Amino acid sequence: MRLSLVAFVLCALAATANAASVSLAGLKLGKTAVGPDLQQKDLKGKCTLVVYWGTH
C-alpha cells in the first residue's frame, strides 16, 4: 500500500520531535539499588546508555 508523502512526513516529524527532546539534561535518577551511585553531573563527557527495564 502506498501512502502519501505528507502522511509520512507528518508522522516522522512527530517521532523526531519526541526523540529530539531527550538528552542527559533531562535525566533524573532515582535511589540507587545496584552499582555505582553516579549523579547526572558525573555522566557529563561520558557515553551513557539509559535503559528502562523491569524485573518481571
Partner 1 sequence: MAGLYKKYSEQGFHIIGLEAQGTPAADIQTFAKSKGITYQCTVGGELAGAVVEGIPHTYLLGPDGTLAGENMMGKVLEDKIKVLLLESSVVYLGEGPYKKLAPLAAAIKNGQNLGQALKVLATKKDGKDAEEAAEAKLMYDAIHGAAKETFDSAVAEKDSNPLGAIARFDKLVVRYSGDEIATNAKKESDTLKKDPKVKKEMEADEMWKKVELFNNQMKAFQGQRDPKSEGFRKINAQTIQILIGGCTQLIQRYPGTAAAANADELMSAYK
Instruction: Work out how close the CB of 6 gets to partner 1 at its nearest, in angstroms, rounded to a whole number.
Output: 11
Footprint on this chain of partner 1 (rule: CB under 8 A): 1-5, 7-9, 11-13, 15-16, 18-38, 43-56
Least distance (Å) between residue 31 CB and partner 1: 5
Cβ at position 56, least distance to partner 1 in Å = 7
What is the distance between the alpha carbons of residues 3 and 18, in angstroms, rounded to a whole number? 22
Cell triple for 31: 535511589
Alpha carbon distance 48, 46 (integer Å): 6
